[in-house]
Amino acid sequence: MIGNWNPKAVRTLRSLRSTSAPMTYTLIAVCCLIFVLGPASGFTPSYGTGDALAAAQRAYFRHWGVVPADLFDGPAREALTPATALFIHGSWVHLLGNMLFLFVFGAMTEERMGRVAFTLFYIGCGYLALLGYAAANATSQQSLVGASGAISAVLGAFLYLFPSARVTSLLPFLFFLPLRFPAWVVLPFWAALQWLALGQAPSGPGVAYLAHLVGFGLGLGYAWVRYGRGTKVKAAPAPAPEGENQP
Q: Is 210 helix (H, G, I), strand (E, B) or coil?
A: helix
The catalytically annotated residue of 140, 143, 148, 169 is: 148
From residue 18, alpha-carbon distances to 12, 13, 15, 37, 152 in Å are: 10, 9, 5, 28, 26
**Annotated catalytic, 89?**
no
Angle at 204 between CA 75 and CA 195, to 5 degrees: 105
The catalytically annotated residue of 140, 143, 169, 212 is: 212
**Which of 108, 111, 218 is CA-nearest to residue 165?**
108
User: From CA 150, how far away is CA 36, in angstroms rounded?
Assistant: 21
**Annotated catalytic, 148?**
yes
DSSP assignment string, 145-208: --SHHHHHHHHHHHHHH-TT-EEEEEEGGGTTEEEEEEHHHHHHHHHHHHHHHHHHPPSSSS--
**Which of 183, 189, 215 is CA-nearest to residue 105?**
183
Catalytic annotation, residues: 148, 212
